[in-house]
Structure 1
Amino acid sequence: MRTLRDTFDPRANSFDVLRLLFAGTVAVSHGLVLHTGWQPRWGASTLGDFGLDGFFILSGFLVTRSYLNLASLPRFAWHRFLRIMPGFWVCLLVIALVAAPAAALLRGLPAGTPFTGEPSAIRYVLANAGLLIVQYDIAGILVDRPRELSFNGALWTLFFEAFCYTVVAALGVLGVLRRRRWVVAGIVAVLAVLTALQEAGLPVWVNERVLRLLFVFLLGSLAHLYADRIPMRGSIAAAAAAVFLGSVAVFHDYRVLGAAPLAYLIAWSGTCFPWPWSMRADFSYGVYIYHWPLFQLLGLTGLAAAPSPLFVLVGLVLVVVPAALSWYLIEKPALSRKHSALPDRIAGWTARAGRRAVVRRSRRAGPGPAPAGTSRGGRSAARPNR
């Protein structure tokens, strides 16, 4: 029986298409919310939740693989930094310098309002630059909008994505990913139990977002760690689809029984299609980070009166432009620096600084106490026999 390890080819798989599909799903969900205040919902989960969970499952699989292949914490951190931060920082600048002034003009306000009002566009960039989004509006431009007041309500997930990267790094440093993969299985089991307890209405004292996103992310990690034991068959995929749909229909939180089947369906879809489509240009990140501000701007135009399908379709078509620019001008050039010697130099400098600190502490402490029965010079302090 072929396993996930047998079917996964890093150069020929459909994961790129799945990422773009999940980004599009989130965009459709947010487009509906910003246009009508409504989106499809099943229990506690929305259409966008399924897309986001799919993103995190794929990320867990690929990021765990990345750590194991790189075998270097500094290089792993460097790769993760290049994948998220350059595109994110430019997105903040685009919102502050382009989207916010455009929104002000569409509202009949001066173009300089984002920089003269409070909270300002400059503060928006600086306050959010650390990846944790703490400011959503700019200068009150969207304050009386009937829908979401945020200029980019999709960016909050990136902080949790980075948190999951940190968890993988910690597990890697502790040797869990290579030698004790059962620990990851145990963590996933605990998160599954907590999800079930939460479904039952019992307090779990865990942040809901952390529980949800770490659970699905580590399911992806687990899929990579146990790829040699996971069979890939169409009949199992069909059964997984049935369990997933049943969990969506029965439970308030579909993840109680549906998260693991969803992870299997994603792994099977990404590796078992007979014609894998690996895309040369990865627009998924750009679609994800730019669709919200684009829909907000469209909502300030005459298109706001259009039917929701047309509104969302126009937004999906237009978002290809900033997504392509983000990929070709920011993300791809940044990723071309993955093999830079900088992280190795930083690691070497840190190691040398640590050794120098140890030497300085030992010198300040001075020589230790002389062993019993000896003098400082090392000679015996005992009186000779007479």
Structure 2
Amino acid sequence: MAALQERFDPRRNAFDLLRLSFALLVAVGHGIANHTGDQPRIGLSTIGDFGLDGFFVLSGFLVTRSWCTLTSFPRFAWHRFLRIMPGFWVCLLVVAFVAAPVAALLQGMSPLQAVTGTPSAWRYVLENAGLLILQYDIAGILAATPHGVSFNGALWTLALEAFCYAVVGVLGALGLLRSRPVLVPAAAAVLLVLTALQEAGVPVLLDERVIRLVLVFLLGATAYLYASRIPLRRDLAAAAAGLFLVSLALFDDFRVLGAVPLAYLILWAGTCFPWPWSMRTDLSYGVYVYHWPLQQVLVLTALGDAPTGVFVPVTIALTVLPAAASWYLVERPALRHKNSSLPDRIAARLAATRLRRP
């Protein structure tokens, strides 16, 4: 009976394929919403929510692995920075100074409305540059669209993902991931209890979306920390699938019983997929950050009058273009600097500064 630790091969798995699939699933849900104003739900969960859950499970597993491989907070933070921020900043600029003017032009407005209107494109970039999305609108240009003024409603999750990265980094730097790994599943258990309380109608202090995504991230992290004890078997995967479906049927929030089975299924599929491979071109991040603005612009064209069953696949297919540009022109070049000595130099300088203090 092989355990997750034995079966997982970092160079030969289906995690890249799963990440892209989850990004596309989010894009499908948002495509329906951007075309019709809403998207289908199963209980409290939208189509896109399932994709986000999958993203965060994989992220928890891989980011925890990244820390355990690097064991250096500056280098860990540098890797996380390179993976998110360059692509994110370029996306903000593209939305502000390409998508917004084009959307204005399509409605008979001056493209300068994006710059001169309120709130402006400049403010959109500056307000959101810190990863916490504070401004979704640009000059009210999208007010007439089915889903409203937001130019990129998908970006809000990035700040939460960065928070999860920070949690892993801090626990790792304190040595707790190795000496007290039980803290991670314990925190996940607390969030599961909060999920059950919410399902029962008991108010809790945390936002439901925060609980949900941090929970599945911690489940992925737990899976890596205890990979030697987690068996990967088809009968267990079948049981997990059954429990997941039962939870979908019984609860408004399937995560009450279905979060753990879902995490198991994702990691089982990513590790034991019959034809596992790793893709050299990772379009998942680009698909995630560009699908929404592209859909919001295209809904203003003749494509917006097409049936939803046409609008969604066409816009997703077109999203591959900016996603590929993001990967080849921004993300991959940025990731080439992963082994830069910069984080080590910064850490050494900070350490020297502390030593010089009286």
Instruction: Please classify the TM superposition score into its range, dividing by the shorter chain length.
Output: over 0.9
Q: 4+ residue runs of structure 1 moved beyond 3 angstroms?
A: none
Take 1:210 and 1:111, find their aligned partners in 2: how far apart are those partners?
Answer: 37
**CA displacement at 1:176 relative to structure 2:** 1.6
**CA displacement at 1:182 relative to structure 2:** 1.2
**Which stretches in structure 2 are left out of the alignment for 5+ residues?**
none
Take 1:324 and 1:316, find their aligned partners in 2: how far apart are those partners?
Answer: 13
Report whether the alignment pairs 1:296 with 2:296: yes
Take 2:101 and 2:204, find their aligned partners in 1: how far apart are those partners?
Answer: 44
Contact 1:176 1:184 in 2 (8 A): no
Contact 1:104 1:113 in 2 (8 A): yes
Contact 2:142 2:296 in 1 (8 A): no
**CA displacement at 1:195 relative to structure 2:** 0.9
Take 2:116 and 2:274, find their aligned partners in 1: how far apart are those partners?
Answer: 56
Q: Which amino acid aligns with 2:211?
A: L
Take 1:71 and 1:317, find their aligned partners in 2: how far apart are those partners?
Answer: 39
Cross-structure match for 2:104: 104
% of aligned pairs identical? Answer: 66
Take 1:89 and 1:130, find their aligned partners in 2: how far apart are those partners?
Answer: 9
SS state of the match for residue 228, structure 2?
A: coil
Cross-structure match for 1:272: 272
Deviations 1:227-281 (A, max 9, x none): 0000000110010001011111110111100000000000100000231021010
Take 1:116 and 1:190, find their aligned partners in 2: how far apart are those partners?
Answer: 48
Q: Which amino acid aligns with 1:138?
A: I
Cross-structure match for 2:232: 232
Cross-structure match for 1:382: none
Contact 2:145 2:296 in 1 (8 A): no
Contact 1:60 1:219 in 2 (8 A): yes
**CA displacement at 1:174 relative to structure 2:** 2.1
Take 1:146 and 1:312, find their aligned partners in 2: how far apart are those partners?
Answer: 14
Report whether the alignment pairs 1:187 with 2:187: yes
Cross-structure match for 1:40: 40
Take 2:34 and 2:121, find their aligned partners in 1: how far apart are those partners?
Answer: 21
Contact 2:219 2:263 in 1 (8 A): yes
Cross-structure match for 1:248: 248
Take 1:275 and 1:145, find their aligned partners in 2: how far apart are those partners?
Answer: 42
Report whether the alignment pairs 1:176 with 2:176: yes
Worse overlay, 144-153 or 117-126: 144-153
Matches within 5 A, 1:1-386: 1-357=1-357, 359=358
Deviations 1:294-352 (A, max 9, x none): 00011000111111111011111100000000000000000000000000000000000
Q: Which amino acid aligns with 1:343?
A: P
Q: Which amino acid aligns with 1:12?
A: R
SS state of the match for residue 80, structure 1?
A: helix
Q: Which amino acid aligns with 2:18?
A: L
Q: Which amino acid aligns with 1:215?
A: L
Take 2:83 and 2:242, find their aligned partners in 1: how far apart are those partners?
Answer: 35
**Which stretches in structure 1 are left out of the alignment for 5+ residues?**
360-386
Take 1:148 and 1:16, find their aligned partners in 2: how far apart are those partners?
Answer: 32
Q: Which amino acid aligns with 1:4?
A: L
Take 2:344 and 2:38, find their aligned partners in 1: how far apart are those partners?
Answer: 49
Q: Which amino acid aligns with 1:62?
A: L
Q: Which amino acid aligns with 2:294?
A: L
Take 2:148 and 2:113, find their aligned partners in 1: how far apart are those partners?
Answer: 20
CA RMSD of aligned residues (A): 0.8
